[in-house]
Amino acid sequence: MRDEPGFGPTTPGPVHDANPGPARLRGAAGDPVPHDSAAKHVSGEAVYTDDIPELPGTLHAYVLQSPRAHARILRLDVSAARRAPGVHAVLTAGDVPGAVDIGPVFPGDPVLAPELVEYVGQAVAAIAAETPGQARAAAALIEAEYEDLPAILTVDEALEAGSYVGPGLTMRLGESAAALAAAPRRLSGSFAMGGQDHFYLEGQIAYALPREDGDMLVHSSTQHPSEVQHLIAKVLGRPDAHVTVEVRRMGGGFGGKETQPALIACIAALLADATGRPVKYRMDRDDDMVMTGKRHDFQVRYEVGFDEEGRIQGIEMDLAARCGMSPDLSNAVVDRAMFHADNAYFLANATVTGLRCKTNTVSNTAFRGFGGPQGMVAIEYVVDEIARALGRDPLDVRRANLYGPGRDLTHYHQPVEDGPLLAALMDDLEASCAYRERRRAIDAFNAAHRVLKKGLALTPVKFGISFTATHMNQAGALVHLYQDGSIQLNHGGTEMGQGVHTKVAQLVATEFGVGLDRVRIMATSTGKVPNTSPTAASSGTDLNGAAALRAAREIRNRMTLFLAEHFAEPAESVAFRDGIVAVGGRTLAFAEACHLAYVNRIHLSAAGYYRTPKIWWDRTEARGRPFYYFACGAAATEVLVDTLTGEYRFLRADLLHDCGTSVNPAIDLGQVEGGYVQGLGWLSFEELWWDAHGRLRTHAPSTYKIPTGRDVPADFRVRLVANQPNREDVVHRSKAVGEPPLMLAISGYLALKDAVAAVGGHRFPVHLDAPATPERVLMACEAVRALGAAGPWAGP
Amino acid sequence: MDQRLAELRDTAPAVPDRIPISLVVNGVEKRMEVAAWTTLLDLLRNTLDLPGTKKGCDHGQCGACTVLVDGRRINSCLTLAVMKDGCEVTTIEGLATGDVLHPMQQAFVDHDAYQCGYCTPGQICSAVGLISEGQARTREEIRDLMSGNICRCGAYPNIIAAIEGVLGGTAPAQAKEDPA
Ligand code: FES
Ligand code: FES
């Protein structure tokens, strides 16, 4: 099955039943065809990095980690490790031939700690041995002596100490202080939300193969091959051109393979360079969870003024993130949190401040949504509290604050045209999920039950699409058309399950008017497409699809001109469709046309390049248009809580999501469902817990609970919005879908808050930090009870 | 304490370096010598060149390494190869007949029951085992009995739909339970 071109034969099933119609070939843009690796996924033939056959002589890497959160390294003696059986190399920072720092944007991430360790788990020494067991055993022989330094572990400690990885930023619209003073009602408070481990099912891995003349080929499970290439070159002290990084597919990434794989790949490459042998570094799961960054946890402080309708008059919000020991991507993550502190609501007078706290913990990093979810949770929490204060249904307060005509400017001064769309989505969902009827039924249920309480919440999502670092919004592709009519597709996007390869291939097939089976998808390689941006920010298909389309169009145009001239027909009469090329009255099979072009010396290969138009961002002024467009959605979730134990179960979820005109509705539907499930995990039971020494104690799925099939709402209804083409000129008028649906799960978190509020008859504020673990839900219930809401507690 | 350990070590029976075993893997008999501590997962992936079975956690907590041993699903990362001497092992590579996919594999394709695909071999083996165990009849039971297989991409609705499809017919809508 591995040798089938493109797609294996599949029986039409429930997801793939859309009839492509007689005029279209299977796999055109818009068809819900299966993932390009479908047949290989189910047969076990899909090759991930760990499945690449190992060359003879391959060594295995292991890394000695810092056991201290913050300490000076007084002594590091690796001599016994170097003599251990099977060991070929032991490296410390002093052995790195090039630069030691591999910080992706700002410095601060040494590949191996030079004199100072700044978090528990930091790489101190790297070992290559003939077996993973020998490498691990050798690590135990390394003698290290540390002198502890004071460690800052939490956001509160960092705020107190003024410890930051970068300067703060404030975004302003209107006059928040005056508006707060003038508002009829005011609330203030604070709450916290936790981070999240990516737990990509395929852990971090790299396989480095030394080549001639000191060149290095590295198979890396990475969303950002170009950066991995650049950083390997940097640590080896060689030009980028001497290093090639390749990735066919990842077993999940979720942002955790944007900057983090550099450490793994650089260590593999350093060891390969030192030994002249291939080196594989496959992190154990526990090491992966301890050593690599996670979603940022945040502390939120707010003060909000509003009217009796709950309409926000003025708001001030501080978002403080735990960034860990280095900047990594935290600057941009916190910016994106700030950009989403409005979610779908018009904040006429807003001051939003983002703080980047430096702590002696692992450096937090990109995770699906990249800070956006945290900003969105912040404002949704505030809106929910406003509703509680007024005794109104939170949905009504959300509606009152929604963007709309005349209320359409963000706190970073980008106009929002999506108010009507957001209103339409909420109208649709309110009706289709029977929100009002269910609200009444839930009220009745809650009145009749003392211990069990139900909660319901309906929340919108408005998520900005584009990298906020403007220069990253560019992409390249390389398309080869062979004389037999087969097409090889290379682009800078990386496949992590989100289906970017399938969608880009569909776009290219459509451009040539051929079936998808003619398009051969290649592994992503820095040797084919250079200087790529990470596959991140949901931009994979938007950027790489557009670049690939341009390459395909270039080749098609050359063929059109040639065929027109060759047959003395007008160029307008040349058409590529249904696997043929029409020229005037003639038709040629596509392969025939390609061959004809080839023998007439027409160049059938092209590179394509795309950069996103219209966007700009002036960070010093904190204003601009950082986003090309917004992707929107809405979700309603219902939960049942046992208020005696805090345990709960999500009963039903209704999701409605806007993908524009989807390039592949089957794949997009999967992204929406999967995003929601992952978001629900983050906000409900995925809890990261560090002890007082800065050690992560939840470093395996035994202690860190990942959602299982059991945790998905039993009644799960998901729809994509129909007939809503992107108003911007994005490929196929689609909208990016990787991250936005994760935030649909905020409705689940607020449903929990709603159920807790029911304990007090919805008349009291509810403090509920995220993740809303059963323990926190129980404590929140107790707090509401203590407010005397339900009268003296009389037991069940 | 150290002395006691040393005594124990002295009196413990010597473990041979390699232990001969035989397994029928995907219908083919394999004879080999393995170290006592080799897991079935490492044996499959590293020695028998069957990398379809994945290592997600190596702790028995994610299900990526699920294979069938004598028709029952197990986590191959928690099983020492020597413990399965004489058994029949079926991996993801052994489910299809020639080019014809096993009905469960086909159902996963039809229902888009994966994204990155890393959990898929384990999910499919687990689902095949689940059906042969004969315990699952409703969607709720499938959800319960498949809860040892994590899908971080969250393809659960489609995974469950695929299994339901193979079980035949649509499972009746289940009653909502109290979590209490
Ligand atoms: S690898 Fe065996 S259960 Fe995770
Ligand atoms: S498909 Fe990625 S983990 Fe299941």
User: Length of chain A in residues, anyone?
Assistant: 796
Q: Is A515 touching B (CB cutoff 8 A)?
A: no
Fill in the DSSP letter of residue A352: E
Pick from A545, A604, A522: which is nearest to A734 by CA? A545
As a whole number of angstroms, the distance between CA A94 and CA A54 comes to 29
Residues B104, B35, single domain; the answer is no
HSE-up of residue A154 (Cα within 13 Å, Cβ side):
13
Total domains in chain B come to 2
- Residue finishing a domain among B67, B93, B119: B93
Out of 3.40.640.10, 3.30.365.10, 2.20.28.10, 3.40.50.150, the CATH code matching A474-611 is 3.30.365.10
CATH 3.30.365.10 in chain A, residue ranges: 433-468+618-796, 474-611
CATH number assigned to the domain comprising residue B123? 1.10.150.120
The angle, 0 to 180 degrees and rounded to 10, between the axes of the packed helices A435-448 and A419-432 is 50
Q: A129 CA to middle of ligand 1, Å?
A: 24
What are the start-end ranges of the E strands in chain B?
19-25, 28-34, 66-69, 72-75, 88-90
Question: Could you list the residue range(s) of the whole structural domain that residue B62 is in?
Answer: 16-93
- By three-state DSSP, how is residue A178 classified? helix
Q: Which residues on neighbouring strands pair with residue A611, listed in sequence order? A: A474
Instruction: For residue A428, count CB atoms less than 10 angstroms from its CB and return exposed for 0-12, middle for 13-18, buried for 19 or more.
Output: middle
Nearest CA to ligand 2 atom 3: B151
The CATH number covering residue B84 comes to 3.10.20.30
Q: Which helix (H) or strand (E) holds A623?
A: strand A623-625
Please name the member of B59, B110, B174 whose beta carbon is closest to the beta carbon of A11: B110
Question: Is residue B27 located within the same domain as residue B48?
Answer: yes
**Gap between the Cα atoms of A323 and A296, Å rounded:** 6
Instruction: Report the greatest alpha carbon distance in chain A.
Output: 93
DSSP state of A582: E
Enter the DSSP assignment of A307: -
Backbone angles phi, psi at A425, to 5 degrees: -60, -45
ipTM of the complex: 0.94
Of A78, A62, A72, A169, the closest CA to residue A123 belongs to: A62
Q: How far is B85 from chain A (nearest CA, A)?
A: 24
User: Cβ distance A371 to A468 under 8 Å?
Assistant: no
Q: Are residues B79 and B24 part of one domain? A: yes
Mutate one of A136, A201, A503 to test the B interface: name it (highest B CB count within 10 A).
A201
Cα A297 to averaged position of ligand 1 atoms, centre (Å): 28
Q: Answer for the pair A285, A57: CB distance below 8 angstroms, yes or no.
A: no
CA distance A753 to A749: 6
A677 lies within 8 A of chain B by CB: yes
What's the confidence (pLDDT) of residue B30? 97
CB under 8 Å to A117, separation ≥6 — which residues?
A: A66, A68, A69, A70, A71, A73, A124, A146
Q: Which pair of structure tokens corresponds to residue A672?
A: 């929406």
- The residue of chain B nearest to residue A707, with distances taken between CA atoms, is B150
Query: CA of A708, closest CA in chain B: separation in Å?
Result: 5
Q: Which of B42, B59, B93 is the last residue of a domain?
A: B93
Given the residues A308, A673, A739, A775, the one annotated as active site: A739
Residue B103 lies in a domain: yes
Q: Mutation target for B interface from A7, A42, A669, A716: give the one with most B CBs within 10 A.
A: A42
Question: In the sheet that A123-129 helps form, which strands lie side by side, from edge to edge?
Answer: A87-91, A123-129, A59-65, A279-282, A205-210, A216-220, A243-247, A524-525
Closest ligand to the CA of A706: 2
Residues B109 and B143 in one domain: yes
**Dihedral pair phi/psi, residue B99, rounded to 5°:** -95, 0
Is B99 in the same domain as B89? no
Task: Cis check for the bond before A5: say yes or no (omega within 30 of 0).
Answer: no
Q: Let me know whether B122 and B133 are in one domain.
A: yes
Going from the Cα of B63 to the center of ligand 1, the distance in angstroms, rounded, reads 5
User: In angstroms, rounded to a whole number, what is the distance separating the alpha carbons of residues B108 and B128?
Assistant: 12
Angle among Cα A253, A26, A508 to the nearest 5 degrees reads 60
Q: Tell me A535's DSSP state.
A: S
Residue B11 is assigned to a structural domain of this protein: no
Closest alpha carbon to B152 in A363, A708, A311: A708
Residue that is written with structure tokens 């050593």 in the block: A291
Q: Which residues pair with A191 in a beta bridge?
A: A300
DSSP state of A523: P
Between the CA of B140 and the centroid of ligand 1 the distance, in Å, is 24
Asked if the C-beta of A441 comes within 8 angstroms of chain B's C-beta atoms, the answer is no
Residues in chain B: 180
Residues B27 and B44 in one domain: yes
Is-catalytic flag, A565?
no
pLDDT score, position B61: 96
The β-bridge partners of A407 are: A404
Q: What is the Cα–Cα distance from A8 to B118, expressed in whole angstroms? A: 19
Considering the domain delimited by A433-468+618-796, tell me its CATH architecture.
Answer: 2-Layer Sandwich (3.30)
Q: Give the residue among A782, A743, A780, A105 at the shortest CA–CA distance from A471.
A: A105
Domain contains B9? no
Chain centroid to Cα A92, Å, comes to 33
Query: Position of tokens 């709309």?
Result: A404
Q: Could you identify the atom of ligand 2 that is nearest to the CA of residue A252?
A: 2
Strand partners, A690: A696
Residues B75 and B109 occupy one common structural domain: no
Mark whether B55 and B82 lie in a shared domain.
Answer: yes
B2 domain residue, yes or no? no
Q: How many CB atoms lie within 10 A of CB B16?
A: 10
Contact B115 A35 (CB under 8 A): yes
SS (H, E, C) A293-362: CCECCEEEEEEEEECCCCCEEEEEEEEEEEEECCCCCHHHHHHHHHHCCCCCECCCCEEEEEEEEECCCC
Give whole-number Cα distances, A725 to A30, A421, A663, in Å: 12, 11, 11
Is B6 part of a structural domain of the chain? no
Contact list, B57 vs chain A (CB under 8 Å):
285, 700-701
Which of B47, B64, B93 is a domain's end point? Answer: B93
Token match 């169009």: residue?
Answer: A553
| Judgement on whether residues B158 and B113 belong to the same structural domain of the protein | yes
Residues of chain A below pLDDT 50:
1-23, 790, 792-796
Q: How far apart are CA A730 and CA A385, in angstroms?
A: 38
B7: which residues sit within 8 A by CB, 6+ positions away?
none
In A, minimum Cα distance to B156 occurs at A709
Write out residues in chain B with pLDDT < 70, as ranges: 1-14, 169-180
* Phi-psi category of residue A722: left, alpha or beta, with phi > 0 → left and psi -120 to 50 → alpha: beta
User: Residue A87's beta-bridge partner residues?
Assistant: A129
On chain A, the residues whose CB falls within 8 A of the CB of B110 are 10-16
Pairing of strands A216-220, A243-247: parallel
Query: Token pair for residue A172?
Result: 């302003």
Residues B77 and B31 in one domain: yes
- Confirm if A658 and A631 have CB atoms less than 8 A apart: yes
Contact B109 A451 (CB under 8 A): no
Same domain, B68 and B103: no
Instruction: Report the nearest-CA residue for atom 3 of ligand 1.
Output: B60
3-state secondary structure string across A666-723: HHHHHHHHHHHHHHHHHHHCCCCCECCCCCECCCCCCCCCCCCHHHCCCEEEEEECCC
**Does any domain span residue B4?**
no
In a domain, B89, yes or no: yes
